[in-house]
Amino acid sequence: MSKRIALLGFSIECNRFAPVATEHDFAAKTLLHGSAIMDDARAAAPRMLAELPGFVAAMDTAGPWTPVPIALAMAEPNGPVESGFFRRFIADLQTRLAAAGPVDGVYCVMHGAGLVEHDDDPEGTIQTLVRHIVGPNVPIVATYDLHGNISDADIDTIDGFIGYRTNPHMDMRACGTEAAHLLTRLLAGTKTHIAKIRLPIVPPTVTMLTGLDAHHRPYGELIDLGQARMREAPYDGVVLNVSVMGGFAFADTPFNGLTAVVTATDAAAARGLAMELAQAGWDRRTRFHPSLTSLPDAIALARSAGHAGKPALVFADVADNPGGGGRGNTMFLLEALHSAGITGALVGVINDPELAAEAHSLGEGARFTARFNRVSVSAFSKPFHAPAIIRRLHPGPVTGRRGIFAGNRVDLGPSVALDLDGITVVVISNRVQCADPVFFEAFGLDIAAARVVHVKSRGHFRGGFDEFFAHDQVIEVDTPGLTSPLLHHFAWQHLPRPVVPLDPHVVWNPS
């Protein structure tokens, strides 16, 4: 008889310092129940992230199975989730999972850095509920973003844990595929143990890249080490997954910290390899300190970029990353470029629904004063205005071309490309990080011809813009914002202290 597999998920990265996320924010991305989950998972261009489509495709390939789709909520990174919505979501999940009757296995699509107004561990809350409903003997496998902060409940309630291994996250689909393979093995009778060891290190976002990035290698080295060691004695054939979770500092939870998580058929092996990785992480602790370029230095670089043999540059606005809860509308970098008279720059994507709506009412070719942040004013999102020409309007829906959104349907909302005295600014209405070249190309803009490209993204733009910019053309600029990698700018309330890189004297006791 084909196995009945429950499918569910809750995926949001929450910045404690950002505004509350509501049901509307989930509905704008992915808020699905029952069969609608399968429809999107099997769509040519899904709205959901790629783990579940990868899982479903792998299960389909492996043979007959019966999906039991329950509930899936995904939203763009934001502040803590409104508690009323979360209560309704888990009540619905509980009702549907109980009504579905006995299942043979469960796949949970998680992020791990979720917060609810009165719950710092919504993933643990959901998995505890799921375990309670399905009972102790039904295997549960979960995938997590490597920015997840891992609590005891995240681990103790499941049988297999899979974290992303790439940042930018190019392996979401592969992790879903791996989850299908692991769950299939568990359904055949394999029993597992999961070990977790957390370090007093809260890595700033920009120190957590993977791949061939010489300046940001400490984290990538740990990922690579875990993958190499699991294929060697005594772990070969015993360890089923190694995940090194960097976590998300801005969630500000008591269980923040770089965490090694190992799933194995042998408890001692799981513990042994987790300890090896924790020690390797601790040995690298002095390297988890960010190094950014000051705004004046960035503007000086912009003056010569793309001239006289100097390469074009991409400026990463790392402190206003919508992919970390930033609002995508701070003006520090745009204002500095504009007042310096820089031309040939592309800036995007700025989230400003009021400005986009005004441009749509005026029409292409119109000249007006572009007034940014007339509504969304905060300590970081300050007003700015400049004379502008409306170059191109766009209704919003695009299909991702390259990077983390490749193949996904993304709706930017009513959008516009504006010319501000030689700087082209793309303004959108649905907050999203600028991770895909299509966010410029949809407006007929030529990225290769730009001298400077300023992106509202911390690091995922690297997976989309790497065909235009090599690593040494990327400048991470220091501006104020909700996602500044300079962690001493924030009033932490819940992080374990002392902790690297915030405190001078941090000790780790491996026992």
Which stretches of the chain bind Zn ion, using CB under 5 A? 145, 147
Residue 408 or 415: which CB sits closer to Zn ion? Answer: 408
Sheet architecture: strand order including 259-264? 193-198, 259-264, 239-245
Residue 375: asked if its preceding bond is cis (omega within 30°), the reply is no
* E strands, 75-173, in order: 105-110, 140-144, 160-163
On whether the CB atoms of residues 426 and 443 are closer than 8 A, the answer is yes
Residue 320 or 358: which CB sits closer to Zn ion? Answer: 320
Q: What is the DSSP string of 160-203?
A: EEEE---SS---HHHHHHHHHHHHHHHHTT---EEEEEE-SB--
Count of CA atoms in the C-beta half-sphere (13 A) of 111: 26
Q: Which two tokens stand for residue 380?
A: 């970081």
Nearest-angstrom CA–CA distance, 171 and 163: 10
Which residue carries 């029952």 as its tokens?
34
CB of 192 to Zn ion, least distance (A): 25
Angle between helices 51-62 and 172-187 (to 10 degrees): 40
On whether the CB atoms of residues 73 and 10 are closer than 8 A, the answer is yes
CB of 106 to Zn ion, least distance (A): 23
CB of 88 to Zn ion, least distance (A): 26
User: What number of other Cβ atoms are within 10 A of residue 131's Cβ?
Assistant: 18
Nearest-angstrom CA–CA distance, 349 and 337: 15
Nearest-angstrom CA–CA distance, 121 and 353: 32
Residue 105 or 114: which CB sits closer to Zn ion? Answer: 114
CB of 249 to Zn ion, least distance (A): 12
Residue 166 or 376: which CB sits closer to Zn ion? Answer: 166
On whether the CB atoms of residues 277 and 260 are closer than 8 A, the answer is yes
Residue 59 or 172: which CB sits closer to Zn ion? Answer: 172
Nearest-angstrom CA–CA distance, 423 and 416: 13
Residue 46 or 325: which CB sits closer to Zn ion? Answer: 325
On whether the CB atoms of residues 475 and 176 are closer than 8 A, the answer is no
CB of 291 to Zn ion, least distance (A): 21
Residue 386 or 434: which CB sits closer to Zn ion? Answer: 434
CB of 145 to Zn ion, least distance (A): 4
Residue 25 or 159: which CB sits closer to Zn ion? Answer: 25
CB of 146 to Zn ion, least distance (A): 6
CB of 169 to Zn ion, least distance (A): 6
Residue 77 or 481: which CB sits closer to Zn ion? Answer: 77
Pairing of strands 397-399, 384-394: unpaired
Residue 248 or 492: which CB sits closer to Zn ion? Answer: 248
Which residue carries 């780790």 as its tokens?
508
CB of 222 to Zn ion, least distance (A): 16
Q: Which residues contact 287 (CB under 8 A, 6 or more apart)?
A: 207, 217, 218
Residue 144 or 332: which CB sits closer to Zn ion? Answer: 144
CB of 378 to Zn ion, least distance (A): 24
CB of 373 to Zn ion, least distance (A): 27
The residue type at 258: L
CB of 149 to Zn ion, least distance (A): 11
- Sign of the C-alpha dihedral, residues 478, 484, 487, 489? positive
| Nearest CA among 389, 408, 388, 412 for reference residue 399 | 408
Residue 149 or 373: which CB sits closer to Zn ion? Answer: 149
Q: What residue number has its CB nearest to Zn ion?
A: 147
Query: Residue 459: which region, alpha, beta or left (left: phi > 0; alpha: psi -120 to 50)?
Result: alpha
Which residue carries 């704008």 as its tokens?
28
Query: Residue 364: which region, alpha, beta or left (left: phi > 0; alpha: psi -120 to 50)?
Result: beta
